[in-house]
Amino acid sequence: MLIDAGQAAELLLAQERVRILAHQNPDGDTLGCSFALWNVLHNLGRKALVECPSGFPERFSFLYEGYIPDEFDGGFLAALDVASPHMLREEHRNAPVDLCIDHHSSNAGYASQLCLEPDAAAACQLLLEVIRRMNAEITPRIATCLYTGLATDTGCFRFSNTSAATLRCAAELLELGAAQADVNERLFETTTRELLQLEQQVMAGLRYFGKGRIALITITQQMLRETGVSEPEMDGISNLPKRIQGVEIGVTLREKPEGGLRVSLRTRRTVDAAQICGAFGGGGHLRAAGCTLREEEVQRLIALCESALPAGEERP
């Protein structure tokens, strides 16, 4: 059943024990929501804990500073920013989740009560409204958690999902004491030596096709071994080739440990990334999609990219 922020607030206030569920490979939004809600419930004297199938990444350690999970069995299940039950722990995939607060228009509707706002740039934006309806105090710690979700899901207000409402929500969170400078420095101004080294190696192998309108990079297993960079750390790399002026399709090939290549495609303007990846059994969005390839299929991928380029402008 679809419910609004006020109803979600009432439902949460009626609980004594809440099991907060974050999605696997957690990002700043699911974790920001989870620890914001944990703090709210904790401050209200309720028992609560946060569960995530893949643990809490070090990168977000500031979100779970001072977090002490309460111990209890069962409890009310609240999934935050979780579009599909497949992103939850095994045991929650088939049992009913009581409440889901989310902003993905693709939400599978798996929860008994769904509070959904597809226009929100982040689930944190919607959760702020829910917390306000709970009449709970929004402490600086809670504001920091919510700010983190907002900032990470919008590339720090750079992506086009940043709406006037998103910016106003961020403004309120700053006024409530969100640690903006610290969060931005940690998440957007810091890279590791290892990642920098990997980027150097990867960009040294940059190749152009389609008269400079396609740029391709390859991340080999050897590079990963040499630099020691882990999978989640290199998320941003696949955005690099598309940033180059004149490039309309950025292709990132990643060697898989078991052989074969994982492809990430990023496009500008009119090129449909999902359609190209679809030809290889993959999919995704208009501007960002992925698929898996055998080494010998790379030529075909490039040919498909070339034929997808709109006529017109070419780099001299």
Contacts with its own copies by CB under 8 A lie at: 156-160, 162-165, 167-168, 170-172, 174-175, 180-181, 184-185, 188-193, 196, 200, 203-204, 206, 212, 242-246, 268
> Considering beta carbons, is residue 243 or 294 the nearer one to its own copies?
243
> Considering beta carbons, is residue 156 or 302 the nearer one to its own copies?
156
> Considering beta carbons, is residue 112 or 200 the nearer one to its own copies?
200
Instruction: Let me know: does 218 contact 255? Beta carbons within 8 Å.
Output: yes
Q: How far is CA 307 from CA 210, 288, 303, in A?
A: 9, 18, 6
> Considering beta carbons, is residue 16 or 119 the nearer one to its own copies?
119
Instruction: Let me know: does 30 contact 55? Beta carbons within 8 Å.
Output: no
**What per-residue string of b and e applies to 242-256 under the rule 16 or more CB within 10 Å gives b?**
bebeebbbbbbbbbe
Instruction: Let me know: does 126 contact 104? Beta carbons within 8 Å.
Output: no
User: Per DSSP, what are the bridge partners of residue 80?
Assistant: 101
Structure tokens at 90: 């095994």
Output the CA torsion 143→144→150→153 (10° steps): -150
Rg (CA), the chain: 21
Q: Shortest distance, CB of residue 177 to its own copies, whole angstroms? A: 11
Q: Shortest distance, CB of residue 314 to its own copies, whole angstroms? A: 14
Q: Shortest distance, CB of residue 121 to its own copies, whole angstroms? A: 12
Structure tokens at 256: 């898989």
Q: Shortest distance, CB of residue 64 to its own copies, whole angstroms? A: 19
How far is it, in rounded angstroms, from Cα 276 to Cα 123? Answer: 30
> Considering beta carbons, is residue 161 or 275 the nearer one to its own copies?
161
Q: Shortest distance, CB of residue 158 to its own copies, whole angstroms? A: 5
Q: Shortest distance, CB of residue 176 to its own copies, whole angstroms? A: 9
> Considering beta carbons, is residue 75 or 241 the nearer one to its own copies?
241
